[in-house]
């Protein structure tokens, strides 16, 4: 059984001080939660502070992006080794905002994913269609391409340990979210492709989570879908009580 996996992507919010306050309160609120994997993804500047505040807890820390080179003349970029040293265990790769605003391609996602794995980080690889692609009935074809090209060269045992986040682009930051049935269909398709391309063991172990306007009032319905293993939470993760509600409502006994 895959335990529920709930990650909060803070995007470009929270200073170091705000991060420490948040994580200290979160650790108190979820101290008795042992059956949900909890991750927060602060900005680069606050990764070390978050990791220190979460020390000796079950709360994990993720970076929001990574560059594929280990070092070099790449002004403004941050390597996987640097992220790992700062205290992160995970890294988000290929978020739709990175694809849409910064031109990231599936080939770039592949390079970043492999760099993260090589450094000992667990990638949270994002996939998902735009509204135009959904309206043209291209959702499953888009997912096939993003998975096949984004995970190109990644071995089955590595796929088993990463997280795939299905994020329909039209549901991110819009207040809209996919229905539970839409999320369930996409997740079932992703799991089928993982089984087909990487084998049953990898498919059964890999977490496939949903992202897109996840809130306390819709998480139970979404995570009740058989192939939905958790959520990548955006705006609702910025408030510690809201994020805690999502975590607690994801617990197996509450679904």
- Tens place of pLDDT for every residue, the chain, 255 residues? 799 999 999 999 999 999 999 999 999 999 999 999 999 999 999 999 999 999 999 999 999 999 999 999 999 999 999 999 999 999 999 999 999 999 999 999 999 999 999 999 999 999 999 989 998 999 999 999 999 999 999 999 999 999 999 999 888 777 777 888 999 999 999 999 999 999 999 999 999 999 988 999 999 999 999 999 999 999 999 999 999 999 999 999 765
> Which pair of tokens denotes residue 86?
């700062």
pLDDT of residue 178: 84
What are the CB-based long-range contacts (under 8 Å, 24+) for 104-109?
106/145, 106/146, 106/149, 106/150, 107/149, 108/68, 109/146, 109/149, 109/150
> Which pair of tokens denotes residue 17?
């001080």
Which residues are catalytic, by number? 95, 167
Residue closest to 146 by CA, chosen among 168, 131, 161? 168
């Amino acid at each position: 059984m895959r335990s529920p996996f709930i990650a909060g992507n803070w995007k470009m919010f929270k200073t170091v001080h705000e991060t420490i306050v948040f994580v200290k309160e979160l650790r108190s609120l979820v101290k008795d939660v042992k059956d949900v994997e909890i991750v927060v993804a602060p900005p680069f500047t606050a990764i070390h502070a978050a990791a220190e505040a979460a020390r000796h807890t079950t709360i994990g820390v993720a970076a929001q992006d990574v560059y594929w080179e280990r070092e070099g003349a790449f002004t403004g970029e941050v390597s996987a080794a640097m992220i790992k040293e700062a205290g992160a265990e995970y890294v988000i790769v290929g978020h739709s905002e990175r694809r849409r605003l910064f031109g990231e391609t599936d080939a770039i996602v592949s390079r970043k994913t492999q760099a993260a794995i090589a450094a000992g980080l667990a990638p949270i690889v994002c996939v998902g269609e735009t509204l135009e692609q959904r309206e043209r009935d291209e959702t499953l074809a888009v997912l096939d391409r993003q998975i096949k090209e984004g995970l190109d060269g990644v071995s089955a045992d590595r796929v088993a340990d990463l997280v795939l986040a299905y994020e329909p682009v039209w549901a991110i930051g819009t207040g809209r979210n996919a229905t539970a049935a839409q999320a369930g269909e996409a997740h079932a398709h992703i799991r089928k492709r993982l089984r087909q391309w990487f084998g049953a063991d990898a498919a059964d172990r890999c977490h496939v989570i949903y992202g897109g306007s996840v809130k306390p009032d819709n998480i139970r319905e979404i995570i009740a879908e058989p192939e939905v293993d958790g959520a990548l939470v955006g705006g609702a993760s910025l408030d510690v009580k809201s994020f805690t509600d999502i975590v607690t409502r994801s617990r197996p006994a509450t679904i």
